[in-house]
Chain A
Amino acid sequence: MITVKNLVKDFSLNRKQRKELGDEYKNTKTIRAVDDISFECKPGRIYGLLGPNGAGKTTTLRMIATMLKPSSGFINVTGFDTVNQGQNVREQIGFMTGQTALYDRLTPTEMVKYIGDLHGMDKITFQNRKNKLFDILDMHSFADRRIARLSTGMKQKTSIARTIIHDPQVMVFDEPTSGLDVMTSRAIMDLIRSCREEGKTVIFSTHRMGEVNQVCNDIAIIYKGKLFYNDTLDKFKSEMTQPTFEEEFIYRVGEA
C-alpha cells in the first residue's frame, strides 16, 4: 500500500537554470515540480501515473522510493514513512526504470547477488529465489557472462531479476518500457501483470496510453506537477468524450 498526501516538491534554481527557463522565472528561486498531490495505490492493483515528459512523474516516484525528500506532505509505504523510515521503505520496494541500469562488468548472477546481499537475504533464500527467477526468465545460459556482452533482451531480463530478487511488496516502475523494442516491452508488461497477480502494490508511470489500457486498474493524470484525474480506469473509460485514449488524454491535458 502506498499513501501519498498533499505531496509537494520544490527544486531550487540556480542563475543559469533561471536564465534557461526564461523571463517567467527571472525572479523565482524555486520551481515546483510536484504540487500538492494525493493518491493511494492498493495491493493487488496497478496504479498508472500518466503524464507528458516533465509532468512530475519521475520526481513523484523518486520521492516514493526515498531518493528525494518531499518539500511538504508525506508518503507512507507499507506503513513506513519515507522521510523518517527510509531504510524500511527501501527494504519493501523494487525500483525499475526504462534504462537497464546494470553494472557492465558484473555477470547477471553477481548483479542479482549484490542486490540480494544489500537486502540482507540469507544464502539459501537467495539461492532458491535466484534459481526460480532464472528458470522463469530463462537466464541460466547467460548467468555467468559479463553484462556488457549481453543482448538488450538479456540485459532487460537481468534488470527484472535484480528488481524482484528480494520479493518486494511494492513495485515502482518509472517508464519501464521507454526506449525498448516490442518484445522486451512485452516482457516488462508481463512482469507488471504478474506482480499484481502476486498481490503486490504496483505503481507505474508512463506516457504511452496503450500500456495503461493493457494493465492499469487505477490511473492518475499528472500535468505540470498537479494531479487532475485520479480514479479507476473503468471510470475514466466511461467518462471519455474523445474516440481514443490518446485523444482523451490530450483533451484533458488541454483542459487543464
Chain B
Amino acid sequence: MKFLIIAKKEMIDITRDKRTILMMVAVPLLMVPILMGSMMKIVSSQAEKASAKQLKVRFVGEEHAPNLYQAFTEMDKVIMLNQIPIDSIQSYIQEEFLDAAIYVNPTYSKDIAGNGQANIQIHFKGTDSFDIARDRIKAVLKVSENQIISSRMDRLNIQASVVKAYEIQYNDVASKQEKFGKLAGGWLPYIFIIFGFMGAMYPAVDLGSGEKERGTLETILSSPATRLDVVMGKFLVIMSAAFLTAFLGLAGLLIGIQQISEIPPPVLTLINEIFSVKSIALIMTLVLPVSAFFSAVLLGLSIYARSFKEAQSIIAPLNIVIIFPAVIGTLPGIELNSITALIPILNVSLAAKDIIAGVINPFFMTEVYLSLFGFAALALLWCVSAFNKESTIFRN
C-alpha cells in the first residue's frame, strides 16, 4: 500500500504547482468557453457584416436585358455603378471596390425570345469566404430564369412534369441526434483527447524528470517503497490529472455552448438532450483508459529524460502524434469497425462520435475498451521496466 502514500504526497505536490493547476483547471474550464465564445462572436459578426453589406454591381448591357437589369436594381442592399468604364471593371473588382460585374450579350433578347440560351458572365473576386456576392447574384438570376422558363412552358403548353420527370421525396430515418453526432461529434473527442494529454504532460514531467533534476529520486529510491510502488503512485496521480483535465475540457465545452447566444434554441435543446448524464458518463469511461495510456507513456519518457527540459523536448512533439488520429476520427467516412476499434486514440474519437449520435455498437465498444486497457497495461509495463533499469534512472 506504499504506492498510496506516494500518490498522496504527489497529489499534494502537483496541486501546489501553479503551472499544473493552470493547465489542469484554468485552461480547460475557462479558456475553452472564452475561445468558443470569441470565435462564435467573430464568425457571426463577420457573417452579419457580410450580409448587411451594400453590394456594388456593374451591369454591362442593360439595354439588351432591361427586365433582368430591373430585377437587379430591385435587389436588397445593392448599388448599381454603371458609371464605371468597361475597361476599368477588372481592376475595380481586383481592388475590391466593385463586388461583381454582370455581362449580358447583345443577343440576349433574341436568345430568350427564340427559346435559346442567353449567355451571362459574372465577374467577381472569389476570396470572400461567405460567397455572399455570388450567392445574392445567383438568387436574382434564378428567379429571373424561373420566370422565363415558366412563361416558355405556358407558351408552348408544356406541363411542369414534362421537364421534371421525378418527384423525389427524401425520407431521412436518421434522428436529429444521429445527424448531429456524426456531424459535430467528432470534435468532442478531439477536445478531451488533447486535454487529457495536456493534463498528463506537466505532472508526468514534474514527477519523472523533475524528481531527477531536484535530486529527490535518491530519497525515494532509498526508502522502503519498491520501484513498483513508486511508479504506481506517480502513475495514479498523473492519470487522475489527465482524467480531470479531460473532464474539465468537456465541461468547458458544454459551458461554452450554453453561453453562445447565436445557437438557435431548438439546437441548444437538442445538444442538452444529447449530453445527458448517461452519455457523458459513457464518454468518461473512454477517457479513463486513454488517460491511463497517456500517463504511462509520458511517465516512462519523463523518467528516461535527464532533465525537465529534455523531458519537455521529448514529449512536446507527441502532441502532433496525438492530434493526428484524433483529427482522422473527425473525417467523414471513417467509421468505428472491428479494425478501427483497435487503434488507440482513433478508436476513442470514433466511439465518442457514435455515443453522441446514439448509435454505439456494444461489440465495438467492448473492443475499444479491451484495446485501450491493453495498450495502457503495455505502456505501464514499459514504464515499470524503464524505472527498473539502472541505465534509465541514473542516466545522468
A115 touching B219 in the complex, CB below 8 Å, given contacts A103-B13, A105-B17, A106-B9: yes
Q: Is B22 an interface residue (CB 8 A)?
A: no
**B97 beta carbon closer than 8 Å to chain A:** no
Main secondary structure of the interface of B (DSSP, over half): helix
With A68-B394, A114-B5 as known contacts, state yes or no: A119 contacts B221, CB within 8 Å. no
A120–B218 CA distance with the chains assembled, in angstroms: 19
Instruction: State whether A90 and B224 are in contact (beta carbons under 8 Å apart), knowing that A114-B9, A118-B2 are contacts in the complex.
Output: yes
The closest CB in chain B to the CB of A14 belongs to B391
A93-112 near B? 1/0 per residue, CB < 8 Å: 10101011111111000100
A-contact bits for B8-51, CB 8 A (1 contact / 0 none): 01001100110000000000000000000000000000000000
A130 at the binding interface (Cβ < 8 Å): no
A-chain residues with CB within 8 Å of residue B9 when the two chains form the complex: 103, 106, 110, 114
Q: Is the CB of B218 within 8 A of A106?
A: no
Which A residues are CB-close (under 8 A) to B224? 87, 90-91, 118-120
Interface size, B (range): 20 to 34
Bound complex: CA of A146 vs CA of B16, how far in Å?
Answer: 10
Chain A CB count within 10 A is highest, among B9, B222, B223, B226, for: B222
Report how far A105 CA is from B11 CA in the complex, Å.
11
Whether B216 pairs with A101 at a CB distance below 8 angstroms is: yes
**Pair A95/B218 contact, Cβ less than 8 Å:** yes
Instruction: Please tell me which one of the listed residues A11, A62, A119, A146 contacts residue B223 in the complex, with CB atoms under 8 A apart.
Output: A119
A162 vs B394: C-alpha distance when bound (angstroms): 22
Most buried by A among B17, B221, B226: B221
The reply to whether A90 and B222 contact each other, CB–CB distance below 8 Å, is yes
Nearest to A97 among chain B residues (CB) is B218
Which one, A69, A99, A102, A110, contacts B12 given CB within 8 A?
Answer: A110
The chain A residue with its CB closest to the CB of B16 is: A105
Closest to A95 in B: B222
User: What residue in chain B is nearest A113 (Cβ atoms)?
Assistant: B9
Judge if A191 is at the interface, Cβ distance under 8 Å: no
B215 is an interface residue with CB less than 8 A from chain A: yes
At the interface, yes or no: B225 with Cβ under 8 Å from chain A? yes
Q: Does B214 have its Cβ within 8 Å of any Cβ on chain A?
A: yes
Query: Are A104 and B214 interface neighbours, CB within 8 A?
Result: yes
A250 CB to closest chain B CB (Å) equals 28
Within 8 Å of chain B (Cβ to Cβ): is A67?
Answer: yes
Taking CB atoms and an 8 Å cut-off, the chain B residues in 101-115 that contact chain A are: none
Q: Which residues on the B side are within 8 Å of A177 (C-beta)? A: none
CB of B172 closer than 8 Å to a CB of A: no
B13 touches A105 (CB 8 A): yes
B199-210 CB mask vs A (1 if < 8 Å, else 0) is 000000000000
Counting chain A CB atoms within 10 Å of each CB, the highest count among B6, B9, B226, B394 belongs to B9
Instruction: Give the contacting residue for B390; candidates A69, A115, A146; CB below 8 A.
Output: A69
How far, in angstroms, from A7 to B86 measured CA to CA in the complex? 97
- Within 43-73 of A, Cβ neighbours of B (below 8 Å) are at 62, 65-69
Known: A106-B9, A114-B9, A118-B2. A101 touches B223 (CB 8 A): no
Q: Are A117 and B12 in contact (CB under 8 A)?
A: no
Contact across chains for A103 and B17 when beta carbons are under 8 A apart: no
Q: Which parts of B34-75 form the interface with A (CB within 8 Å)?
A: none
Contacts of B214 in A (CB 8 A): 101-104
Whether, in the assembled complex, A194 has its beta carbon less than 8 Å from a beta carbon of chain B, the answer is: no
Greatest chain B CB density within 10 A among A69, A114, A172 is at: A114
A86 to B6, CA, bound (A): 18
Chain B residues contacting A62 (CB-CB under 8 Å) are 218, 394
Interface string of B383-396 (1 = CB under 8 A from A): 00000001101100
* Closest B residue by C-beta to A105: B16
How far, in Å, is A103 (CB) from chain B's closest CB?
A: 6
Task: Given A117-B5, A118-B6, output 9 extra A-B contacts at Cβ < 8 Å.
Answer: A12-B391, A66-B222, A97-B215, A106-B12, A110-B12, A114-B9, A118-B223, A118-B224, A146-B16
Interchain residue pairs with CB less than 8 A apart (17)? A11-B391, A65-B221, A66-B221, A67-B393, A87-B226, A90-B222, A90-B224, A91-B224, A101-B215, A101-B219, A102-B216, A105-B12, A105-B13, A110-B9, A114-B9, A117-B5, A118-B220
List chain B positions with a Cβ less than 8 A from chain A: 2, 5-6, 9, 12-13, 16-17, 214-216, 218-226, 390-391, 393-394
A contact set with B: CB distance below 8 Å: 11-12, 62, 65-69, 86-87, 90-91, 93, 95, 97, 99-106, 110, 114-115, 117-120, 146, 162, 172
